[in-house]
């Protein structure tokens, strides 16, 4: 088996793909010219023909965390900072807003 579907929503899905990192996003990609998205005559980005193109992994490139604890008499104060860099995201809220005309960029 080459692909196991984990989740599908709107026009994108999260998958297990043999030979790829966990959580690969699949869906329609854009058409690119010289590394930039191509704009059609209607002013919208052109979409590619492959509805299940590999768009990238949801996993971050790296994670880091720092924690500290300060104690004074009977009081203790702790802090934690977590950082994740990389990984692809998909916003269902953004897709819904664009599809229903809620956002300003859909005014045209």
DSSP the chain: --EEEEEEETTEEEEEETTS-SSEEEEPPBPEETTEEPB-TTSSBPBPS-TTEEEEESS-SEEEEEEEEEEETTEEEEEEEEEEE------HHHHHHHHHT-SGGG--
pLDDT of residue 73: 94
Instruction: Give me the tens of pLDDT residue by residue for the chain, a chain 108 residues long.
Output: 589 999 998 889 999 999 999 999 999 999 999 999 999 998 888 999 988 899 999 999 999 999 999 999 999 999 999 999 999 988 888 888 888 888 888 887
pLDDT of residue 1: 53
Question: Which residues does residue 7 pair with via DSSP β-bridges, in sequence order?
Answer: 14
Q: pTM for the whole thing?
A: 0.69
């Amino acid at each position: 088996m080459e692909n196991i579907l984990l989740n599908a929503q709107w026009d994108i899905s999260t998958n297990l793909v043999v030979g790829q990192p966990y959580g690969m996003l699949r869906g329609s990609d854009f058409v690119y010219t010289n590394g930039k998205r191509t704009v059609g005559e209607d002013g919208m980005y052109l979409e590619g023909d492959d509805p299940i193109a590999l768009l990238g992994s949801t996993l971050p490139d790296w994670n880091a965390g720092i924690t500290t604890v300060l104690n004074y008499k009977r009081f203790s104060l702790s802090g934690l900072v977590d950082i994740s860099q990389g990984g692809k995201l998909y916003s269902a809220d953004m897709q819904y807003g664009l599809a229903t005309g809620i956002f300003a960029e859909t005014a045209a």
